[in-house]
Structures are given as C-alpha cells and as structure tokens.
C-alpha cells in the first residue's frame, strides 16, 4: 500500500495553517535580506571616493585615430543648460612639462587646477582640452578632472610627429638650431588639439603648462576686449620666475625685424638654420610696450604673439587661422620662408581675416616656472 505524502492524522485546517506559517517565515527572511542589501549598497556607495560618484554626471566617449594611434577621450557633463563659451587649451610632453616653482617645488596637473580655480572663470561655461604624449599623465588628467565642474573635458594621447631621436630635449629647446624643428612640431600639435577640441565655444585661451601664475581676472579681461571686432588675438607680458622686471616670452613684439639678403635666401633653401631673424632698431618687446601703456584698460598693437598665455577669437579658427608649421614670412614657390613660425605666424595669417593682435597694458601679466 502506497504511503500518503501527508499523514492522514493531519487535518486540512492544520495543513493550511502549516503552509501559512512557512510563508510568513519566508516573508520575514526576505525582508531582512532586502534590508541588509539596502544598507550595504548605500553604505558602500557613500564610502566610495567622490570620483566614483562623479561618473554619474558625465557622458563619456572615446575613439582612436588609427593613422598615428592617437587616442581621444571626451567627457561631457549631463543635462547641461548652456553651451560652454570658453575653451582652455594646453599641450604637455610629460610630467616635466609643468616645470618647477622658484622654491624648487615640482608642479603637476593639480597645480593647473588650483591656478584655474583662482582665475575668476565660470567652470560651468568652460571646456578644458589637453594633449600629451605621456600615458601616465593622461591617466592622471582623466582621474583628477572627474571632480572638476568643467562643462567638457577633452584629452588626447598623441605620440608626436617626430621620431624619438628627433625630439628636442627640454633643456636645449631654445637653441637656435633646434628652434625650427621644435616650433614646427609644437605648431602641429597645437593645431591638432585646437581643431579637434573646438566645438561651439566663442573664445580660446592657450596656457603654457609651465605658467604657474597670472593676474587674477586676466582671462575675463581678455574676453571683455573682444567687443571690438578688430581684436582677434590678445596676450600679456610674461616673466621668468618671481621677477616682474624681465620679459620671458620674446615671441610677442612690435616693430621691424631683419630680413636675409639674396645670398642668404639662397642658402636658406638648403639649410633653414643658416640664418636667424632678429629685432631691428625700433622693435619693441612686451616690457617696452607695457611701460608705455600703464592703465589696465590699455591695449596696443602687436606684430607677433607668443603662446604663453594667448587669447584667440574662435571664429578666426573656423575661418582657417592656425599655428604656422613652417616659416610663413618669405615663403615662395621655391621653398619655405625665414621667419614667422608657430605662434609668430598667427598675426600674419590673421590680418587678411580682418583681425589684429594686441597686448594688454597695466598690471596684467603671467609668470613662467624656472624648470
């Protein structure tokens, strides 16, 4: 005889009560489990670093430019109410690009963030874009910028266009023989970054990575001057170290420059380092010009600008303005010219677009690191 699954001695009422009791127990157990899971998740969430929480406010995109294995990362803030109008641009080679403070302290990307927080700019209306050749640096920029209130962050890992043995060491970057190669390479990298990073912004500001200080409010002051449509590029006096008396960026000037004679031009076609331009009598650097324009609202025309701290009207870039990758002045069908490379070619190219280069008088300046 087959034994019943439920003993006959249990009544139907008892069986129902038994099932109800089990359901009640399982319900209580489930509640406990859900409660424990909730407390675990919330406590672990709030114990995680801010960078984890910040990820939820960003939209990420990336792609590789396969021609040179150039990696792009772009991060946009979600639910933006306004389009950013200011684009900040920097190029670095590696961690040494940030330079050293006069007291010997080595600077870093964190130093830049501190400088920008003191610059009286609206981060919510600002995009930041950096190109570097260092994988470790781009990882650092990516992680540290997560918690910053920029509207957009664009990072590019670029190996450079020169072979490693051709690259100029930081220590000899100002030697005459290295200038053309170095500045041509820098112009290409600047153009790559600027043309890839620019979207709908109206204003572009270049900052050298080793600039450790500039006058508070200088970037908004630059932008205020652009109400005059003839103002296309603006820069300020740059000092080396803590001194306020020297001029470090000698690529900003006004006045005549030397030109090669016919024999020298012929030699230049074979050897670009055979002749180097220099200021002629009447040429003035930023220090000379600022002393003649002591008011903070003063502006003066320049024939060339450096890229240490440089404003560019974005509409000019959309019309084709870019950093000169070769000597622009003197270029002919026979070959390259003899002057006006990288930032010094900008004013030459901007003039046909109806825009001029200007310097700011008064107290506005920047300071370049000593390393």
* SS3 letters across 91-135: EECCHHHHCECCCCCECCHHHHHHHHHCCCCCHHHEEEEEEECCH
What does the alpha-carbon distance between residue 177 and residue 32 come to, in Å, rounded to a whole number? 76
Q: Which long-range contacts (CB under 8 A, 24 or more apart) does 164-173 make?
A: 170/93, 170/96, 170/97
Asked whether residue 249 is domain-assigned, the answer is: yes
Asked whether residue 140 is domain-assigned, the answer is: yes
Tell me: do 184 and 101 sit in the same domain. Answer: yes
Tell me: do 25 and 144 sit in the same domain. Answer: no
Tell me: do 193 and 151 sit in the same domain. Answer: yes
Tell me: do 43 and 65 sit in the same domain. Answer: no
Asked whether residue 3 is domain-assigned, the answer is: no
Determine how β-strand 203-207 pairs with β-strand 86-92: parallel
Average of per-residue pLDDT across 130-145: 97
Q: Are 317 and 176 in contact (CB under 8 A)?
A: no
Tell me: do 195 and 322 sit in the same domain. Answer: yes
Grade residue 96 by pLDDT with cuts at 50, 70 and 90: very high
Structural domain of 16 = 12-47
Tokens of 275: 């002749």
Tell me: do 25 and 103 sit in the same domain. Answer: no
The per-residue b/e assignment along 141-153, b for 16 or more CB within 10 angstroms, e otherwise, is bbeebbeeebbbb
Average of per-residue pLDDT across 152-167: 87
Tell me which residue has tokens 């609206």.
122
65 or 21: which leads in pLDDT: 65
pLDDT at 227 over 90: yes
Tell me: do 317 and 188 sit in the same domain. Answer: yes
pLDDT at 10 over 60: no
Tokens of 206: 């270049």
Helix axis angle for 109-117 and 135-145, nearest 10°, is 40
pLDDT at 158: 97
| pTM for this model (two decimals) | 0.83
Tell me: do 86 and 235 sit in the same domain. Answer: yes
Tell me: do 107 and 30 sit in the same domain. Answer: no
Q: How many domains does the chain have?
A: 2
pLDDT at 168 over 60: no
Strand partners, 172: none
Tell me: do 135 and 277 sit in the same domain. Answer: yes
Tell me: do 42 and 120 sit in the same domain. Answer: no
pLDDT at 363 over 60: yes
pLDDT at 93: 96
Tell me: do 186 and 321 sit in the same domain. Answer: yes
Question: How much of the chain exceeds pLDDT 90, in percent?
Answer: 74
Alpha-carbon separation of residue 249 from 63, 211, 304, 344, 354 (angstroms): 36, 11, 11, 11, 25
Average of per-residue pLDDT across 278-287: 96
Q: Which long-range contacts (CB under 8 A, 24 or more apart) does 67-72 make?
A: 68/158, 68/159, 68/161, 69/159, 70/156, 70/157, 70/158, 70/159, 70/192, 71/138, 71/156, 71/157, 72/154, 72/155, 72/156, 72/196
Asked whether residue 285 is domain-assigned, the answer is: yes
Asked whether residue 110 is domain-assigned, the answer is: yes
CATH number for 258: 3.90.550.10
Average of per-residue pLDDT across 3-22: 47
Strand partners, 367: 213, 239
pLDDT at 50 over 70: no
1 or 57: which leads in pLDDT: 57
What does the alpha-carbon distance between residue 339 and residue 260 come to, in Å, rounded to a whole number? 10
Grade residue 88 by pLDDT with cuts at 50, 70 and 90: very high
Instruction: Please give the backbone phi and psi of residue 336, each rounded to the nearest 5 degrees, phi first.
Output: -70, 160
């Amino acid at each position: 005889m087959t034994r019943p699954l439920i003993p006959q001695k249990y009544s139907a009422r008892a069986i129902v009560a038994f099932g109800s009791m089990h359901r009640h127990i399982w319900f209580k157990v489930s509640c406990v489990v859900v409660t424990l899971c909730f407390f675990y998740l919330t406590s672990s969430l709030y114990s995680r670093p801010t960078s984890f929480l910040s990820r939820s406010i960003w939209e990420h995109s990336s792609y590789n430019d396969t021609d040179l294995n150039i990696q792009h990362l772009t991060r946009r803030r979600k639910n933006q109410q306004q389009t950013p109008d200011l684009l900040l641009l920097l190029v670095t080679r590696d961690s040494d690009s940030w330079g050293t403070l006069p007291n010997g302290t080595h600077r870093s990307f964190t130093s830049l963030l501190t400088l920008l927080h003191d610059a009286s700019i609206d981060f919510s209306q600002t995009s930041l874009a950096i190109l570097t050749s260092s994988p470790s640096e781009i990882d650092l920029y990516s992680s540290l910028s997560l918690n910053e209130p920029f509207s957009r962050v664009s990072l590019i890992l670029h190996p450079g266009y020169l072979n490693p043995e051709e690259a100029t060491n930081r220590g000899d970057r100002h030697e005459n023989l290295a200038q053309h190669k170095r500045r041509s390479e820098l112009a290409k990298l600047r153009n790559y970054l600027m043309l890839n990073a620019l979207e709908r912004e109206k204003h572009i500001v270049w900052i050298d990575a080793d600039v450790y200080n500039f006058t508070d409010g200088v970037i908004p002051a630059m932008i205020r001057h652009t109400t005059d449509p003839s103002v296309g590029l603006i820069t300020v006096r740059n000092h080396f170290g803590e001194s306020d008396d020297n001029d470090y960026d000698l690529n900003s000037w006004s006045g005549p420059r030397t030109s090669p004679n016919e024999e020298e031009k012929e030699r230049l076609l074979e050897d670009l380092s055979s002749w180097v331009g220099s200021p002629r009598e009447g040429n003035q650097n930023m220090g000379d010009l600022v002393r003649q324009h002591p008011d903070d609202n003063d502006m003066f025309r320049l024939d060339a600008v450096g890229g240490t701290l440089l404003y560019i009207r974005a509409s000019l870039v959309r019309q084709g303005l870019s950093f000169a990758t070769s000597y622009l002045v003197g270029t002919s069908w026979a070959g390259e010219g003899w002057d006006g490379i990288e930032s010094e070619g900008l004013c030459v190219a901007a003039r046909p677009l109806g825009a001029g280069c200007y310097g700011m008088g008064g107290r506005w300046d920047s300071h370049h690191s000593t390393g």
